Amino acid sequence: MKNSGIILIMEEREVREIVYGPVHSWRYGKSLGINLLGKVKRICTFSCIYCELGPFSIKEQKELYAINRSVFVPTDLIIDEFKKFMDKDFDVITFSGAGEPTLAKNIKEVCEKIKNFKPDKKIILLTNASLFYLDDARKDILNFDIIDAKIDATNEEFFKKINKPIESIKIENILTGIKELKKEFKGKFHIQIMLTHVNLNQVEKIANFVKKIKPDEVHLNTPTREPWKKPLGTQVLLPLKKYFDDLKVRTPYD
């Protein structure tokens, strides 16, 4: 237990590096992380109650929101850092890091360049889907091999409770954006649902939406990292698979 705690602290620090890991992912194996946002506390459209980059004060949370897409770290710098990790042992390359990756306007360029260096490795985007309503944001991510989009709620009340979005982001726009991306994207499309006691009673409603878009996989996740280390147990999480009918559903407990 003591050793696993040390590893956890290292991973939390690492995600603020431009390239970090590899770290273990129960979904994807050994994952080399790409952080397009730089060495910052966080840059995101959300301030989720379970965010592993926190905790932050109310004042800090307001300062860490962003909605406008920009280049936070120059592409050449990211690639230079990536080259230092090319000999590491990893299964996949994951764009995640210190916030929402689609805020970075150079996400397409970075993905294309990394593909040229490691064409044998799948490149995955972990995203909260908040910018999918923007045509340019969707176009910039179509070259990923896998897009893993998060949906923790399908109505505004629970969306605000669990994801605490920047004011201009609405759940209706996110759900519409996900539908649009699913039509356009040719790679594997996965949905992640982070379940806590806050949104547990919303699973059936979320499942009804997810079944309509038919993702390749559904990941029922639950917080296992600080500061919100309050995971749902196996006896609670595993039975929730039934709401997704014949979709492929995975959990950390499988």
pTM for this model (two decimals): 0.91
pLDDT one-digit tens code per residue, 60-100: 666 778 899 999 999 999 999 999 999 999 999 999 989 99
Backbone angles phi, psi at 189, to 5 degrees: -115, 120
pLDDT confidence of residue 1: 34
pLDDT one-digit tens code per residue, 165-195: 999 999 999 999 999 999 999 999 999 999 9
Q: pLDDT class for 57, splitting at 50, 70, 90?
A: low
At the top level of CATH, the class of 2-250 is alpha beta
Exposure pattern of 110-146 as b/e (b: 16+ CB <10 Å)? bbeebbeebeebbbbbbbbbbbbbeeebbebbebbbb
Q: pLDDT class for 13, splitting at 50, 70, 90?
A: very low
What are the residue ranges spanned by the domains of the chain? Answer: 2-250
Sort 160 into a burial class: Cβ within 10 Å, 0-12 / 13-18 / 19+: middle
pLDDT at 7 over 60: no
pLDDT at 12 over 70: no
pLDDT at 5 over 60: no
